[in-house]
Amino acid sequence: MKIFQNRAFKTSSVLLAVAFSATTALAEDFTKGSKAKDFGLNEAVQSTFSAKVVDLLCEVAGDCTDNCGAGNRQLGLVRDADNKLIAVLKNGQFSFNGAVEDLLPYCNQKVEVDGIMVGDPEEHNTQFYMVQFIKAEGAAEFNKANKWTKAWAARNPDAKGKGPWFRRDPRVIKQIEANGYFGLGKDADIAYAKENQ
Amino acid sequence: MKPYSKILSFAAAGIFTCFANVSLAFSATQAKPIEIKGEIIDTWCYLSGVMGGEDAVVGSAHHTCALWCAAGGIPVGVLDEDGQIYMVLKLKGEGSLAKTDNIMEIQSDVITAKGMHYVRDGVNYLVVEDVIANEGITNLNHLDYGSVPPNSFPENFLSKQ
């Protein structure tokens, strides 16, 4: 009986320890140590954590490639602390840039990231991530998550010129030439300009 | 078994079961076929509020900015009539960041699509197998908001024509 009691006590202790770990992970303060800027964005919360970089299609649909889609797929982060899959919408640049160029070098690898969670969790069930800094797990220094614009320039050598990339991007220019700035045709652009300029 | 051991056992088992269920709920991916109707939106501007309120960062007002964001690799979403957002991961067999015109051509349009819907950790993900209807841009909110952001429409537009 005494042995049973000891076993029951040990089992209980182990279960409690596991439960406590789960509680700790769910309640972990990811703001601690963050140096990210919140830019006053909607419900922005600083958030730094360790995670694995994943191909979202592979992670949610089992549609996998060897190289996370080689830049043609959206990537995400599976956070170590709670195994939560976090959708990454932005890198740290402020010229309409996503995060794939910054995450892709770490495909299926462990990283540490610093950035902000944004969006109203009450309205949209969760929040989404803007990665501002990233480094391989255990590396000394964070790197700025700002690779997109240089990668775009390398892909578009014929789009050189003045002004930001998005005014020179061939795919954007093609759509605006076809459908105008409001997507409603050139007549809508002219009508708007006549009324407002 | 002493009373305190019994209480401890029940407490531990209860807490463990609770968190095991929570953990499974967070990590499991549910998948189902879907037919969805909604507007193609730029998820970052819509969710972050960086360009203003939700009514202003959709439709014709935000069309050029949506093109910029799609070309810039920001995830594109489908905003359905209930206000739910579905992040597009694949469109007609190619990754949503493929450098083609497919995803650019439907920016701000109201589409009906067939595909697979996945839910993971509160986020709706969508693999679009086919766009079966496209109503074009139906929200003419540039009449209320102008261009959002303002610099997405050229200054002195008429003089450049």
Pair (A134, A160) in one structural domain: no
| Mean pLDDT over each residue of chain B, to the nearest integer | 88
* Full 3-state SS string of B19-86: HHHHHHHHHCCEEEEEEEEEEEEEHHHHHHCCCCCCCCCCCHHHHHHHHHHHHCCCCEEEEECCCCEE
Q: Quick one: which of B85, B32, B73, B58 has its CA closest to B145? A: B58
CATH code of A73's domain: 2.40.50
> How many angstroms separate the CA of residue B57 from the nearest CA in chain A?
12
Is residue B160 very low, low, confident or very high in pLDDT (cuts 50, 70, 90)? Answer: confident
Tens of pLDDT along B5-45? 555 455 544 444 444 444 444 445 778 999 999 999 999 99
Residue B4: predicted pLDDT: 52
Q: Specify the number of domains making up chain A.
A: 3
Q: Could you tell me the residue range of the domain that residue B103 belongs to?
A: 29-160
Give the C-alpha separation, A5 to A3, whole Å. 5
Q: Is the ipTM of this complex over 0.90?
A: no
The pLDDT tens digits of the residues spanning A31-85 come to 999 999 999 999 999 999 999 999 999 999 999 999 999 999 999 999 999 999 9
User: How large is the average pLDDT for residues B105-122?
Assistant: 97
Whether A103 is in a domain gets the answer: yes
Q: What is the largest CA-CA distance in chain B?
A: 90
Which of B:37-66 have CB within 8 Å of A?
43-44, 47-50, 60-61, 63-65
Q: Please answer yes or no on whether B127 and A82 come within 8 Å at the CB atom.
A: no
* Residue A40 within a domain: no
Q: Are residues A118 and A165 in the same domain?
A: no
pLDDT of residue B31: 87
| Omega prior to B149 cis, within 30 of 0 | yes
CA distance A135 to B23: 27
Query: Of A15-24, B15-24, B49-58, B77-86, where does mean pLDDT reach its minimum?
Result: B15-24
In 3-state terms, what secondary structure has residue A51?
strand
The alpha carbon of residue A84 is apart from the nearest alpha carbon of chain B, in Å, by 6
Predicted local confidence at residue A28, as pLDDT: 86
Decide if A56 touches B, using CB distance below 8 A. Answer: yes
Residue A137 sits in the same domain as residue A169: no
Instruction: Name the residue range of residue A87's domain.
Output: 45-146
Instruction: Decide if A151 is inside a domain.
Output: no
Answer whether B137 sits within 8 Å of A56, measured CB to CB.
no
* Mutation choice for A interface testing from B10, B50, B92 by most A CBs within 10 A: B50
Backbone dihedral angles phi then psi of residue A50, each to the nearest 5 degrees:
-95, 150
**pLDDT given at position B5:** 53
Does B7 reside within a domain?
A: no
B93 located within any domain: yes
Tens-of-pLDDT digits for all 197 residues of chain A? 454 455 554 555 544 454 444 444 556 899 999 999 999 999 999 999 999 999 999 999 999 999 999 999 999 999 999 999 999 999 999 999 999 999 999 999 999 999 999 999 999 989 999 999 999 999 999 999 999 999 999 999 999 889 999 999 999 999 999 999 999 999 999 999 999 99
pTM of the model: 0.86
CA B160 to chain centre: 35
A142 and A67, same structural domain? yes
- State how many domains chain B has: 1
Q: How far apart are CA B112 and CA A166, in angstroms?
A: 28
What are the tokens at A39?
């830019």
Q: How big is the CA angle at B140 (ends B145 and A88), to the nearest 5 degrees?
A: 75
Q: Are residues A135 and A55 in the same domain?
A: yes
Residue B65 has pLDDT above 90, yes or no: yes
